[in-house]
Structure 1
Amino acid sequence: MHANVRRLSILLALAAGMSGSTALAADPDHGAELAKRWCATCHAVTSEQKQASADVPAFASIARRPDFSPEKLAFFLLDPHPKMPSFPLSRTEAGDIAAYIGALR
């Protein structure tokens, strides 16, 4: 139960941070920098990237999914899962990466 409460708290904090407030707005440019540094080993994070792992989706493909939302993606990035390496992302960094991916729509 505690894990669910923690996840809900993270999701609510992310939603508040992405609500359009200038002070708390996600920064897609910073997200692009982070993605190039941490994600490009496996994912194609830009259209110019020539190499990525074949078994993972490109960021543009993730952005075009019908169920895509920056809030859900940021939450996903903060929740440990076995297929991806564990990166010590802050809520702000996860929100920035999600905003960058959303900008690829």
Structure 2
Amino acid sequence: MACLLRLLTAMTLLAPGVPAAAVELGNVAAGLEYAQKVCSACHAVEKDTVMRLSQVPSFQEVADTPGMTPRALVVWLRTSHPNMPDLIIAPDDMDNVVAYIMSLRTKK
């Protein structure tokens, strides 16, 4: 988890700007639906569910990562990951998934 936090911090600081509209819009229900179809093979996408793979963070853990913001999440999803397939997510789906993940946040 500490590695994820360091990676997110570095990517947020070094990444080109993401338009504010790209991280402020999104449909939470559509984001959940997309996550269930695309992400649930590896990630626990719903709140309080058991992890599918122990080394893969749940969406709850991602949402509760200290310093996590919608902008940081967009940057993280657009960046290649050694342990995750390179995803090409349509802009509307990205907005929806980010809205869904951020809706899980319990730490303020």
Give deviations 1:51-102, integer Å, cap 9, x for gaps. Answer: 5111011111111111111121012112222221122202221121111010
| 1:50 Cα offset (Å) | 4.6
Amino acid in the other structure paired with 2:84: M
- Percent sequence identity is 30
What is the CA RMSD across the aligned residues, in angstroms? 1.9
Please tell me whether the aligned partners of residues 31 and 96 of structure 2 are also in contact (alpha carbons under 8 angstroms): yes
**How far 1:32 moved relative to its partner?**
0.6
TM-score (norm 1): 0.74
User: Aligned partners of 1:103 and 1:49: how far apart in 2?
Assistant: 15
TM-score norm. by structure 2 comes to 0.72
Q: Work out which of the two has the higher radius of gyration on C-alpha atoms and give 1 or 2.
A: 1
**Alpha-carbon offset, residue 41 of structure 1:** 0.8
5+ residue gaps, structure 1, are: 1-6, 20-24
- 1:18 maps to what in 2? 23
2:70 alignment partner AA: P
Please give the residue correspondences for 1:1-105 in structure 2 after superposition, counting only pairs within 5 Å.
8=16, 11-12=18-19, 15-19=20-24, 25-47=25-47, 49-50=49-50, 52-105=52-105
CA displacement 1:11-67 (0-9 Å, x = unmatched): 12xx22334xxxxx2111111111111111111001364551110111111111111
**Partner letter of residue 83 of structure 1?**
N
Counterpart amino acid of 2:87? F
